[in-house]
Amino acid sequence: MRIPAIRQRPWLAAALVAVVVTGAWCLRPQAAAPADTAAPGQAAKSPAREAAAPRSAGERMKDEWLSVLASCGKDTSPEELRRQLAALKCRWLLEDDLHGVGLMCAGLLRGGADAKTGIPFELGPGGRLAGWPTMRVFLLEVLGEADPDLAMELGREVLGSTGSAEEFAVALKALAKTKGGPWRAPDAELEAYFATLLHKPEWQRSDGLAQGLDLARNLATPAATATLAEWLKTAPPARVAGQMAIHETAVLNPQLVVGIMANQPDLLEGSEPGLRSSLMARASVSDQGQAGMVEAYLHDPAVPAEEKRDFLKLYPMRSATTGYRLYGSAPSSYEQGAVVQDDQAALEAVTRWKTDPALGEFLPQLNKLEGRLQTWVRQAGEKE
């Protein structure tokens, strides 16, 4: 029942009150009236006066969160906690005063109370979480959706103080929204946070770091890409996730990644064998700049011959990964029209490479590459 509707009809409100009171009296079991306990000469105390004042929405939400907090680590299963937290999030984000929801979340976060839920750190559509490993991670996510301005302020506080990789990664969400939008920190600030995330020794095996690697794709800047590449040279435990992150960045912006690989050849020195050649194989030679980078790479005497053979086996590399990501939409696959155009340009490039005496030792690989490209170009023509 909507309150505004009752206020517009005072006679209806009075009638409803009468009905409710009458119904309640009829439903209650009849009992003797209680003795009046007021002192002689004083009016009897009204039950309404003794009733507690109604709690504010903030107090109610805080009590709800504290109730779930108290059940963590006890007999409540992680799945039941997940259900309870999902219901809380849904209910809180339907509140009229979302700024009030944000203030409540910020107050609890600044209070420092926390507990592990046993729920895995999992992602859902649009970068939203489907699993909250701690109660503070839950608050950070709700805050980010309820009050983006306050979330940026609180996020910076958390980023400067937390010892949790999961909190760190989720706090970054508030600062890494749509580029050019009002809730976006400067690239230099995000790049510094990304470097902090990657270089905390105690976070190297954490879910927060593994999911936070997606910030490289979100940023797609030379500094962030170089930071990720340098980190990969250390053979970290999460290197597979790191390789996926740098490849997803290359799919999004091949000129950026291919340019870094071409201009800083020692950047991946000592890293996983084949990583640089596979990233170079992301190049789109229909772009003149990238075509020049590939030519220089193939003619560079500092690049081992075996690496060049690996490149020619992989080129053009079009594999793509997808799935939910922490900082934005899922990675996109290659656009078919661009693939067809690039296959044609690649075939023309390979025809030139075959006549280049400097590349004569790679003729077996070039012949196989030419055959693949001829097949793909012919198949594309048959579909038109």
Give the chain's residues under pLDDT 70: 1-54, 384
> Hey, what are 50's tokens?
């003794």
d(CA 17, CA 255): 71
pTM: 0.82
d(CA 130, CA 136): 15
| Torsion over CA: 5, 7, 11, 16 (sign) | positive
Spatial contact of 209 and 238, defined as CB atoms under 8 Å apart: yes
> Hey, what are 75's tokens?
């007999």
Residue 330 has a pLDDT of: 86
Q: How many residues does the chain have?
A: 384
How many other CB atoms sit within 10 Å of the CB of residue 232?
22
Reported as type and span, the H/E element at residue 122 is strand 122-123
Residue 45 has a pLDDT of: 47
Measured in degrees and rounded to the nearest 5, phi and psi for residue 40 equal -55, 135
Spatial contact of 251 and 331, defined as CB atoms under 8 Å apart: yes
Spatial contact of 320 and 334, defined as CB atoms under 8 Å apart: yes
Spatial contact of 61 and 55, defined as CB atoms under 8 Å apart: no
Residue 14 has a pLDDT of: 35
> Hey, what are 219's tokens?
């940023």
Residue 37 has a pLDDT of: 43
